[in-house]
Chains A and B, each alone.
Chain A
Amino acid sequence: MASTRSNSSTSSQSALSASLSSHLLQALETYRSRTPARLKFVDAYLAFLVLTGVLQFVYVLLVGNYPFNSFLAGFGGAVGSFVLAASLRIQISGNNPEFKDVSPERAIAEFIFAQIVLHFFVINYLG
């Protein structure tokens, strides 16, 4: 009795995971074929920033929060850059109707200005 139930649950789990992985694979395939190269480049940059932020957070958990200002600068720089790059991606992807009126040139100019301001603060807060 028990073995039957466990068998059925294993089979349903495996079915679920199979369908999940097939969906993921499909999503990945769609992303690979349909996303423009320019947005893929932005995504690679975002992935890099996430990695930088996660590594710093792991380090602060291991070593402790001294010096806290340096941590805030480094971590804030990664998070801030991510937010700016994500905003840029939304504006230049062309799939978001509310940003139809914003030209990609304007989005890029705003992005560059915001980046310069962000890193000015990050470098000043680092030491």
Chain B
Amino acid sequence: MMARGALFSALIALFLLNACAVAKSASGSRVLVLLDKLDDRADYSAFFSSLSERGFDVYFKEASDVSAKLVDFGERLYDHAILFSQKSSGVLSATKLVEFVKLEGNVLAAVGRNPPDNVRDFAYEFNVGVDETDTAVIDHFNFNSTEGAQSSHTTILANAFAPSAAVYSQSTLSGGAVLYDGVALKFGKNPLLLKLLVGSATTYTWGARESSDVTEQPYVSGSELILAGAAQTRSNARVTFVGSQKLFSDRHICNDTSLNQTTSRFKLHVLENIIVVDSKSGNAAFAADISKWTFQERGVLKISAVQHHKEDESFQRDSYRVKDHIVYQLDISEYRDGKWRPFVAPDVQVEAVMIDPYIRATLQPSSSAKPSSATATTYVTKFQLPDQYGVFTFKVDYRRPGYSWIFTKETLPVQQFRHNDYERFLVVASPYYAAALSTATASFLFMIAVMYSS
């Protein structure tokens, strides 16, 4: 009896311990970090400890380690991967990284001036181009002056964040600029790509070693120059590319308690008038936000409780009739900061499709309808089915940048009126009834008269 009690309390303790360790991610807590040498993790200690604080189980592996596997026998061994290694690894080829993403693993890949081939190829799978080796992003107008005014201006200050509430918190958007020292990225035509941080009008990319003038069109420049960008696959796996792994380093992440003040602060030069902006870099907030977004801690949407019924009924039918008045409703919740919350948007639409969309109705967040739980917003709309019978699909396909794609559909038949569905004995038709009956009666009397009059 005692033993059973002890076992029980131990189980409870284990459960509580487990609950505490659960990450705030909607998809999982296992993170694999790939580094050139295990010792390198000290350079990024602030970033990695913030991940541990958020409840992730962080595993470190050297990129050349043969046991560094993301997928084994078709199963993901980790939920997320961070690629910080700067040497090409034959162990984790682009193909293997793609396989991991296909299994809905999330990847945060950061490169430097010497991008490894596997990450370069991996980026190219998403139509993200990485500039050549030994080039750097340069901005002679927004640079970190603590590096020295005569420097090559390769540590730039970037604050052109994508205005996405799904990715960035308000404090990041209004906070300090990001210290960026790395290579330029360029997006191809891929509708699944999302710009997270882009260059300013004066940002360009050029050879870092040469001090020579720019003699031809740079690979990419201005706001087309991507500093950080992401791809969200159709299965909602997120892959984020950052052109500067130094962005995550302790040296660039502001950490008031443990870091040297001179390196964690920056000065902003604007032309010859030196405006000294002595403030913290936004690297910590930026790194936190994009890792939260990449690892499915925010901007994750979920549809639940999809329901439809006729306006004067409350139960869902397997089929409807043409011109029926339908009430369609569903719940949408957003995962943010460890909790499912109600998600309110004015632009969620439902479609009734039979090859073409016959109906496209905007769903209104409803205050009167009771959501399935306090963690969701109920959206309701009413529409009348068209005077067209056939197999219709009711679908909601909501794709907004930064948020996970949500999709639900249901196929059901819409039938025509049966012969006994029509209304009978209409008041409006009473003259016809009277006429038909009087004609019939008159005919009957006439028949009798004609028969017996001869």
Contact = CB atoms under 8 A, between A and B. Distances in A.
Q: Do A and B come from one complex?
A: yes
Interface of A: 38, 41-42, 45, 48-49, 52, 55-56, 59, 63, 66-67, 70-71, 73-75, 77-78, 81, 85, 88, 104-105, 108, 111-112, 115, 119, 122-123, 126-127
A66 B428 contact: yes
Given A38-B450, A56-B432, A67-B428, 5 more contacts: A52-B439, A70-B426, A74-B436, A77-B439, A119-B443
A77 B440 contact: yes
B446 A85 contact: yes
A77 B441 CA distance: 12
Interface residues of B, number: 22
26 contacts: A38-B450, A38-B453, A38-B454, A45-B442, A48-B442, A49-B442, A52-B435, A52-B439, A55-B431, A56-B432, A66-B428, A73-B432, A74-B431, A74-B432, A74-B435, A77-B435, A81-B439, A81-B442, A81-B443, A108-B451, A112-B447, A112-B451, A115-B443, A119-B440, A122-B439, A126-B436
Given A41-B449, A52-B438, A127 B443 contact: no
Contacts of B432: 56, 59, 67, 70-71, 73-75, 126
Nearest to A108: B450
Nearest to B454: A104
B428 A63 contact: yes
Given A67-B428, A105-B454, A123-B440, A111 B435 contact: no
B315 interface: no
Nearest to A107: B450
Interface string B415-428: 00000000011101
Q: Is the interface of B mostly helix, strand, loop or mixed?
A: helix
A45 B454 contact: no
Interface of A is mostly: helix
Interface in B92-143: none
B435 A78 contact: yes
B19 interface: no
B433 interface: yes
A58 B75 CA distance: 78
A48 B440 CA distance: 12
A127 B425 contact: yes
Contact of B436 (A48, A55, A67, A123): A123
A48 B435 CA distance: 11
A102 to B, nearest CB: 14
B454 A56 contact: no
A59 B442 CA distance: 21
Contacts, number: 79
Contact of A56 (B426, B435, B447, B453): B435
Contacts of A105: 454
B429 interface: yes
A103 B447 CA distance: 16
Given A81-B443, A119-B440, A119-B443, A55 B435 contact: yes
Contacts of A78: 435, 439
Residue among B439, B440, B442, B454 with max Cβ neighbours from chain A (10 Å): B439
A54 to B, nearest CB: 11
Nearest to B445: A45
A127 to B, nearest CB: 5
B436 A77 contact: yes
Contacts of A59: 431-432
Contacts of A55: 431, 435
Nearest to A49: B439
A108 B429 CA distance: 32
A119 B436 CA distance: 8
Nearest to A122: B436
B435 A127 contact: no
* 8 interchain residue pairs of minimum CB distance: A74-B432, A70-B429, A70-B432, A74-B435, A74-B436, A77-B439, A119-B440, A77-B436
A65 to B, nearest CB: 11
B417 to A, nearest CB: 13
Contacts of A104: 454
A67 B439 contact: no
Given A52-B435, A122-B440, A111 B425 contact: no
A77 to B, nearest CB: 5
A52 B446 CA distance: 15
B438 to A, nearest CB: 7
Contacts of A77: 435-436, 439-440
A75 B432 CA distance: 8
A58 B85 CA distance: 89
Contacts of A66: 428
B452 to A, nearest CB: 10
A85 B431 CA distance: 22
A42 B450 CA distance: 9
Contacts of B431: 55-56, 59, 74
Q: Which of B428, B431, B432, B440 has the most CB of A within 10 A?
A: B432
Contacts of B451: 108, 112
Most B-side CB within 10 Å, residue of A55, A85, A105, A112: A112
Contact of B447 (A48, A63, A75, A111): A111
